[in-house]
A and B are shown apart, each in its own frame.
Chain A
Amino acid sequence: MSGDDIPVRDGVQPANPVSGLDDDGLLAAVREMLGGSEEAPDWSVELAKGSYDLRAVDAELAALSSGSGLAPARSGTRSDAPARMAVFDAADLSVEIEIEPGERAGSWRLVGQLNPAAPARIEVRQQQAESRWVDADRFGRFAVGDLRSGPLSLVFTRSGLRDVVTEWITIG
């Protein structure tokens, strides 16, 4: 983890590159590790703990299959911010979403399409916010506005089928 010039114990095939360092090299690695260690701010720790309420037990996970860079950089202005797309895939459902700047400054609007097209009840989840609910129409289309920047995940409930939950992504 430090430079390449750290001597390695002769004839030893280490289980990992750090443990293969000699004493001075290992101590240098410890110095680098301790020097690069920070405490997380309390608010970040508390936010992570509070996320336990966002478990979606029994729902099938829809993995992000494309479009991981979802929203424009914060430095971008609203007017030049292009819409970003993402696709999530579960076994029997694919969801395509697009995030675009919302009507209010700093807010976002999400439009989506279910494949195969079918009606669904959709829970829009964000940290530190009450869930919002929207419906997909019979063509599988849905839209929700006035979203805040930050992590977001959707849960889809369809008649007679297992719930599907998307991976978390960041918008904004």
Chain B
Amino acid sequence: MTVVARGDPWAGGEADDPVPGWVRAAAAGDRKAWDQLVDRYSGLVWSICRKMGLNTEDAADAVQLTWLALLQNLDRIREPERLAGWLATTCRRQCLALIRRSRPTVSADDDLMERLLSHGSPADEPLLAVEQFALLWQAFRQLTDICQRVLRALVIDPEDGPPSYQAVAAHLQMPVGSLGPTRARCLSQLRKLLDNGGI
């Protein structure tokens, strides 16, 4: 598995993160680089707004405000390799502002607001969850293709309970004996990616 050849199922992980280059290029006027940033992170930003409990209309606004904030701050992003975390934090802030405006009687004090929100709907998530969601979202996409497929197959919950190793191995067309070691290797790869990109 150490030799990476064309067509190798273990290939597909990104050795070189293209995102910092896209951020710099977009700041310098390269529209195509901006499109690539939007393509890569649209799912993340949208998912976070939905995760914060916003309806489609408010989520749509929060998503656009997040992109517009990035556009205004392209040349101020100090750690472009951690863009997922920056987007998550910005998106959460925009979502809280939209939630706040629909509750005019609540104090605008941010700490109080966050405490209130952390104890009730619609944003009844632990406060760190959004940033960790973003890191995991990003790290997962940097896994090799086969690791993404293996982990996806392992977490699918069919109606009759979690899939057996036999079923997953058959689905992935790999020997059942290699599934355990593969799972361990992929999770270790994921852990390494998380540690590299951690906030």
Contacts and interface: CB of A to CB of B under 8 A. Distances in A.
B173 to A, nearest CB: 21
A51 B68 contact: yes
A67 B198 CA distance: 32
B102 A167 contact: no
A69 B64 contact: no
Contacts, number: 154
B34 A75 contact: no
Nearest to B85: A16
A49 interface: yes
Contact of B67 (A37, A39, A51, A68): A51
A34 B157 CA distance: 12
Contact of A19 (B35, B157, B194): B194
Interface string B31-60: 100110011001111110011000001001
Interface stretch (B1-9, B11-19, B131-139): B131-139
Contacts of A84: 101
B71 A51 contact: yes
A1 B136 contact: yes
Contact of A1 (B35, B63, B65, B129): B129
B184 A170 contact: no
Given A54-B71, A151-B65, A48 B42 contact: yes
B98 interface: yes
A168 B198 contact: no
B108 interface: yes
Given A18-B132, A168-B65, A23 B184 contact: yes
16 contacts: A1-B129, A1-B136, A23-B187, A33-B140, A34-B152, A37-B44, A39-B46, A40-B42, A48-B42, A48-B67, A51-B71, A69-B101, A82-B104, A153-B68, A168-B68, A170-B97
Given A1-B129, A170-B98, 18 more contacts: A19-B195, A26-B191, A27-B151, A30-B151, A36-B51, A40-B45, A40-B46, A40-B63, A44-B64, A45-B39, A48-B67, A51-B67, A52-B31, A68-B100, A69-B97, A72-B104, A82-B104, A168-B72
Interface of B: 26, 29, 31, 34-35, 38-39, 42-47, 50-51, 57, 60-61, 63-65, 67-69, 71-74, 97-98, 100-102, 104, 108, 126, 128-129, 132-133, 135-137, 140, 151-152, 154-155, 157, 183-184, 187, 190-191, 194-195, 198-199
